[in-house]
């Protein structure tokens, strides 16, 4: 497990980039911290490459402005990992450059960073391509931006299974308001095209998540504003046409915003969202779409997790397994206090098969930011105010400094987070939050012996990654993995 984010210690008034690798029992294998020039430095995403190394993206304060930073860490058997390569990238002068997300391509052994960069007047989509075989200071292979007529910000990135196409989605200014826009490039940086989509004039729209299908098409979701709030919008795009293969919208009544999208092995699409059935009370919602050969897909089912008229709920992330399950992490609000909710839905009809709830200290909120499958169990990563230990032990550590971290005495039972069904809080310290994204692991033929990643987990605010040292026989037992995506929780 590799987690990235930030730490803020009493001896240092600023956030420092902080990455930790954990063993399955919760013990620390290694940790790495970075403090740049006098400001907040926060890890935003992590991926595991086919060699088992962790690649971390961060937004850092580098002398007067925010820059993008990327580092590849290699486990060298000590408690401090080796740094294989790194790069701090700056756009125009001291303007802000922000890292939002990462994608890894095992075919070409490349890393793609998505985010946005200031051009001096406003922001542009940013896409950086890195050769993962280099060492030392790793200058990007190429840098691409997308500039509309004003603020343009990308929030999600994905790469096709063959490594041939990279896509970003987010929001772009059309001269009046913000439109949802998806942009694609070839692996050599050649632009393929832009797919904008707008709702009503004078209202803002945004793309929030995307993934590639097995055929190389992009499925993307976001929201289009109708004047009363956002409507869920989902589409399948192909590089061969400016017209979507299909597109669908969903209006639950008020403000509806999708947070994650995934596909199963048959090509059906699942979207998790937070919908506003009433102005004051949101609900957790999921939809399944089936492509039928027409411009409008079949809505197979839609499901709402109803918490009652006095309570609100919402979704943060989604994944599907290789057989028949859909797993969603979200939250439930009790009089302003949020609790973590994890649930399993049936792919066939969307029925909730089970749901579990977890909270930290009474009176304090907890919020999940990602979900993934761990063997036969379910793992949810979350931030929580003063974590309540799951199995005893002192919840808070004392002492420590910027270079000397003291751990709490919290204990871990063997395989605690592999139980079914179960949730696992990745927030081990009060100032740390985590999230993750599951994606398809590289074929076993691309991996060295006994270094096979079980699953890749990535996020926007912080990232939690699960992997295993099992042999390639594990890959043979798994048929597929899905690709969820989530946006930052409000705390970020």
Are the C-beta atoms of 238 and 245 separated by less than 8 Å? yes
Here the contacts of 288-292 (C-beta below 8 Å, separation 24 or greater) are 288/347, 288/350, 289/234, 289/246, 289/248, 291/236, 291/245, 291/246, 291/267
- Enumerate domains of the chain plus CATH numbers: 2-477 (2.130.10.10)
Enumerate the H helices of 405-466 as residue ranges.
none
pLDDT tens string 248-289:
999 887 889 999 999 998 999 999 999 986 656 789 999 999
HSE value, Cβ hemisphere, 13 Å, CA-based, for 316: 32
CA distance 67 to 414: 41
Beta pairing, strands 325-334 & 269-278: unpaired
Cα-based distances in Å from 236 to 148, 232, 273, 323: 22, 14, 18, 23
Please calculate the CA angle 189-83-97 and round it to the nearest 5 degrees: 45
| C-alpha span between 73 and 399 (Å, rounded) | 27
Which residues of the chain have a pLDDT value below 70?
A: 10-11, 24-26, 93-94, 277-280, 309-310, 374-375, 386-492
Residue 323: count other Cβ atoms within 10 Å of its Cβ: 10
Residue 26: its pLDDT value, please? 65
Half-sphere exposure of 121 (CA within 13 A, CB side): 5
Q: What is the pLDDT of residue 99?
A: 95
pLDDT digit string, tens, across residues 199-214? 877 789 999 999 999 9
Structure tokens belonging to residue 82: 């080796």
> How far is it, in rounded angstroms, from Cα 132 to Cα 106?
10
Contacts of 125 (CB under 8 A, 6+ apart): 114, 116, 144, 145, 146, 147, 152, 153, 154, 168, 170, 172, 183
What's the confidence (pLDDT) of residue 202?
A: 77
Q: What is the C-alpha separation between 183 and 424, in angstroms, rounded?
A: 35
Cα–Cα distance for residue pair 256/259, rounded to 1 Å: 10
pLDDT for res 279: 56
Buried b (16+ CB within 10 A) or exposed e, 333-352: beeeebbbbbbbbebeebeb
Half-sphere exposure of 365 (CA within 13 A, CB side): 16
Instruction: Please give the pLDDT value at position 39.
Output: 82
pLDDT for res 86: 97
Asked if residue 303 lies in contact with residue 351, where contact means CB atoms within 8 angstroms, the answer is yes
Tell me which DSSP letter residue 40 carries: -
pTM of the model: 0.78
Contact 54, 45 (CB under 8 A): no
């Amino acid at each position: 497990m590799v987690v990235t984010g930030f730490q803020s210690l009493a001896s240092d008034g600023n956030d420092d980039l902080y990455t930790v690798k954990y063993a399955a029992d919760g013990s620390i294998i290694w940790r790495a911290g970075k403090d740049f020039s006098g400001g907040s430095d926060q890890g935003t995403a992590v991926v595991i490459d086919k060699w088992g190394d962790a690649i971390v993206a961060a937004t850092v304060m580098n002398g007067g402005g925010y820059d993008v930073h990327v580092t590849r860490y290699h486990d060298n058997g000590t408690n401090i990992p080796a740094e294989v390569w790194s790069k701090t990238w700056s756009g125009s002068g001291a303007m802000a450059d922000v890292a939002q997300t990462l994608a890894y391509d095992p075919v070409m052994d490349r890393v793609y960073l998505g985010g946005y960069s200031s051009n001096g007047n406003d922001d542009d989509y940013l896409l950086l391509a890195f050769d993962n075989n280099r060492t030392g200071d790793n200058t990007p292979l190429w840098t691409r931006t997308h500039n509309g007529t004003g603020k343009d910000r990308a929030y999600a990135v994905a790469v096709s299974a063959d490594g041939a196409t990279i896509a970003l989605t987010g929001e772009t200014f059309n001269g009046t308001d913000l439109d949802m826009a998806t942009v694609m490039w070839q692996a050599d940086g050649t632009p393929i095209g832009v797919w904008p989509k707008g709702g009503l004039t004078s209202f803002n729209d945004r793309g929030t998540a995307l993934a590639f299908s097995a055929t190389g098409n992009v499925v993307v979701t976001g929201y289009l504003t109708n004047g009363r709030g956002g409507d869920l919008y989902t589409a399948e795009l192909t590089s061969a046409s400016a017209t979507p293969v299909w597109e669908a919208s969903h209006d639950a009544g008020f403000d509806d915003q999708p947070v994650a999208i995934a596909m199963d092995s048959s090509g059906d699409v699942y979207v998790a969202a937070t919908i506003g059935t009433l102005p004051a009370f949101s609900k957790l919602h999921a939809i399944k779409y089936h492509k039928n050969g027409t411009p409008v897909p079949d809505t197979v089912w839609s499901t709402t997790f109803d918490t009652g008229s006095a309570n609100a709920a919402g979704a943060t992330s989604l994944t599907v397994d290789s057989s028949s399950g859909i797993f969603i992490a979200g939250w439930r609000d009790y009089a302003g206090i949020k609790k973590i909710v994890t649930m399993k839905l049936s792919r066939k009809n969307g029925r909730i098969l089970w749901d579990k709830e977890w909270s930290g200290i009474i009176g304090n909120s907890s919020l999940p930011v990602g979900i993934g499958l761990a063997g036969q169990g379910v793992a949810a990563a979350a931030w929580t105010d003063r974590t309540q230990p799951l199995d005893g032990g002192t919840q808070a550590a004392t002492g420590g400094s910027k270079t000397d971290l003291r751990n709490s005495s919290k204990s871990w039972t063997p395989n605690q987070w592999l139980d079914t069904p179960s949730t696992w809080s990745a927030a081990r310290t009060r100032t740390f939050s985590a999230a993750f994204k599951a994606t398809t692991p590289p074929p076993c033929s691309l991996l060295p012996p006994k270094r096979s990643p079980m699953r890749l987990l990535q996020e926007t605010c912080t990232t939690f990654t699960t992997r295993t040292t099992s042999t390639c026989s594990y890959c043979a037992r798994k048929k597929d993995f899905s690709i969820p995506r989530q946006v930052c929780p409000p705390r970020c």
